[in-house]
Copies of this chain bind each other. A is one copy, B any other.
Amino acid sequence: MKDDLLHVDAMLTDLYQLTMAYAYWKSDKHEEEAVFDLFFRKCPFNGEFAIVAGIEQFLTFVENFGYNDEEIEVLKRLMPNADSGFWEWISKVDASQLRIMAMTEGSVVFARVPQIYVRGPLGVGQLLETTSLNLMNYPTLIATQAARLRMAAGENKTLIEMGLRRAQGPNGALSGALYSYIGGFDFTSNVKAFEVFGIPAKGTHAHSFVTAFTGLDEVADCQLKTRAIHYRQEMLRLFNLDGTNDGELAAFIAYALAYPDTFLALVDTYDTLKSGVPNFLVVSLALVEMGHKPFGIRLDSGDLAYLSKESRKMFWACYHHFIRSGIDLKKLMFPCNLAIAASNDINEKTLHALNAQGHEIDTFGIGTHNITCQAQPALGGVFKLVEINGKPRIKLSENREKVTIPGAKIAFRLYDDRNVPVVDVMCLENQDEDSLPKVGKPITCHHPYDPYKKMTVTPSRIEKLHMLVWDGKRLIPNWSPISAKIHCQTQLKNMRPDHLRHVNPTPYKVALSKELYDMMHDLWQKEVG
């Protein structure tokens, strides 16, 4: 499965795309020129923004799009009554007749603005729908969540993605790790994500490592062991303890022997403050004495704010006590920069709560809640036909917000004189050059649904939101995850913070040009009859 994310094939689709393609073919409509928009109607997580993700995998899918003979045999079993001419057509289907515009991976995107739009034969466009949505929905969702977690944790914290064991399917985990990184994580625990995408990986040890040791006799005698046991006596007196768990101490010594310069101990197996932290400190003192540098602790249960603050206090108590013992702890940077990592059901809410309590955590390991996007496990992205044979198409709905914005469109982000985005405006692809947004020229932007809501903006800068990424062949180079990550950070920094905040964010405006607004509402009127 090394590169399965890179070789998603056209069989990963809903059967109805093929049954529809057949019906188009049967009516000789399959080659009619159509335009499809891929977009979502509502930003996830009760927020007012999202992060574009999945474009690279989508393009790789497009590059390889088509059905081989073996696959067609499978399809024939599903559609035994289809005419043979259809299978001849299917065997030749590829992306050579498509023209695809897309936003840049890592961009900030808002509801109703297409992330991608595809122009090409109706039958071919239709066959792209499900796979494209699969390749865009979850990536956009999790990249957005990662960006939110990053904002909640703060810029100077380390975020580690560690959700593999709880992910939905083997490569829900793999794409989760990739798109978390793009959105704002620093590391993943997932070795496969390092192998396939080069995402930096981190790992320490689990509770089972601690419980695997039952006594001190299970680590061979050595200087580290002797010195740790020596320090334990003093540590027990310092913290007024009867003893610490021997198995745990043995495990820490064993772990420190393997990783003397990156020693990070999981301290909550038995009792965090009465056994775990003291055991970590005695091994750390021994390491420091021997010229090594311990890294820190990990908390995985209990009240993380309280335990992190208490642990930090114990680090300092230890420092003040042992500074007099002759080891130059200060020079060795002990314990000022000992790291406190925390995991255990962390989500966006928890991070805000921890901030309010003045926690002492440096690194957050986030698993289940991030990888499964527990706060909202699916993005409702859709792929809608908006034009056929040059005629705009609309899909009505009793729910106004579900009415699609018809026609082939181009979209612009308008910036104010402080270079801050103020509105995204969609225009007709073929509207007069004169009526498109121009720097320094006032333009009226219309709310898509509400005739009474419009605003006039005089942009100081204009950004075209889409670029031509495919025109029968790929037009942009492969990107690296790091470039998308940097683009994402840059875009987020440029936004007005009130659009991004987690409590009552201000909606960012997405509007239509007068020409598009008029066309849409004419068509709507006509369809309603």
What is A's interface to B at a CB cutoff of 8 Å? 1-2, 4-5, 7-9, 11-20, 22-24, 26-29, 32, 34, 36, 71, 74-75, 78, 81, 122, 126, 129-130, 133-135, 137-138, 142, 162, 164-176, 189-192, 194-195, 201-209, 211-214, 218-220, 242-243, 245, 254-255, 257-259, 261, 269-270, 301-302, 368, 371-374, 377-381, 383-385, 388, 391, 393-399, 402, 527, 529
Q: Are B258 and A191 in contact (CB under 8 A)?
A: no
Extra 20 A-B pairs, beta carbons < 8 Å, given A26-B258, A129-B165 = A1-B8, A9-B192, A13-B164, A19-B204, A19-B258, A20-B205, A74-B191, A78-B191, A81-B261, A126-B209, A130-B164, A133-B166, A134-B165, A167-B169, A168-B378, A172-B172, A212-B385, A243-B529, A301-B398, A374-B377
Q: In whole Å, how far is A443's beta carbon from the nearest beta carbon of chain B? A: 30
Q: In whole Å, how far is A402's beta carbon from the nearest beta carbon of chain B? A: 8
Please indicate the chain B residues that have their CB under 8 angstroms from the CB of A34 in the complex.
212
Please indicate the chain B residues that have their CB under 8 angstroms from the CB of A204 in the complex.
16, 19
Distance of A519 Cα from B53 Cα, bound (Å): 52
Distance of A286 Cα from B422 Cα, bound (Å): 55
**Could you say how many copies of this chain the assembly holds?**
2
Please indicate the chain B residues that have their CB under 8 angstroms from the CB of A176 in the complex.
168-169
CB contact between A27 and one of B207, B220, B397 (< 8 Å): that residue: B220
Q: Are B75 and A191 in contact (CB under 8 A)?
A: yes
Distance of A343 Cα from B403 Cα, bound (Å): 18
Q: In whole Å, how far is A55's beta carbon from the nearest beta carbon of chain B? A: 15
Distance of A302 Cα from B212 Cα, bound (Å): 57
Q: Are B191 and A395 in contact (CB under 8 A)?
A: no
Can you pick out 7 interface pairs between chain A and chain B where the beta carbons lie within 8 Å of each other?
A5-B169, A12-B190, A13-B191, A29-B213, A168-B168, A168-B377, A169-B176
Q: Are A170 and B269 in contact (CB under 8 A)?
A: no
Distance of A379 Cα from B398 Cα, bound (Å): 37
Please indicate the chain B residues that have their CB under 8 angstroms from the CB of A301 in the complex.
397-399, 402
Contacts A1-B7, A372-B377, A395-B211 known; A203 to B167 CB distance under 8 Å? no
Please indicate the chain B residues that have their CB under 8 angstroms from the CB of A14 in the complex.
162, 164-165, 189-191, 203
Please indicate the chain B residues that have their CB under 8 angstroms from the CB of A137 in the complex.
165-166
Distance of A269 Cα from B13 Cα, bound (Å): 22
Q: Are A208 and B16 in contact (CB under 8 A)?
A: no
Distance of A133 Cα from B5 Cα, bound (Å): 21
Please indicate the chain B residues that have their CB under 8 angstroms from the CB of A134 in the complex.
164-167, 169-170, 173
Q: In whole Å, how far is A49's beta carbon from the nearest beta carbon of chain B? A: 20
Q: Are A19 and B259 in contact (CB under 8 A)?
A: yes
Contacts A220-B27, A254-B26 known; A168 to B138 CB distance under 8 Å? yes
Please indicate the chain B residues that have their CB under 8 angstroms from the CB of A396 in the complex.
269-270
CB contact between A172 and one of B169, B379, B395 (< 8 Å): that residue: B169
Distance of A402 Cα from B189 Cα, bound (Å): 23
Distance of A300 Cα from B144 Cα, bound (Å): 28
Distance of A473 Cα from B142 Cα, bound (Å): 39
Q: Of A16, A243, A301, A368, which is in contact with the most chain B CB atoms at under 10 Å from its CB? A: A16
Please indicate the chain B residues that have their CB under 8 angstroms from the CB of A175 in the complex.
168-170
Contacts A23-B254, A385-B211 known; A169 to B173 CB distance under 8 Å? yes
Distance of A191 Cα from B131 Cα, bound (Å): 11
Look across to chain B and name the residue whose beta carbon is closest to the beta carbon of A178: B169
Q: In whole Å, how far is A132's beta carbon from the nearest beta carbon of chain B? A: 8
Q: Are A168 and B164 in contact (CB under 8 A)?
A: no
Q: In whole Å, how far is A284's beta carbon from the nearest beta carbon of chain B? A: 16
Q: Are B166 and A167 in contact (CB under 8 A)?
A: no
Chain A to chain B: the 5 pairs with minimum beta-carbon distance, closest first: A15-B203, A16-B203, A169-B172, A133-B165, A372-B377
CB contact between A203 and one of B17, B208, B399 (< 8 Å): that residue: B17
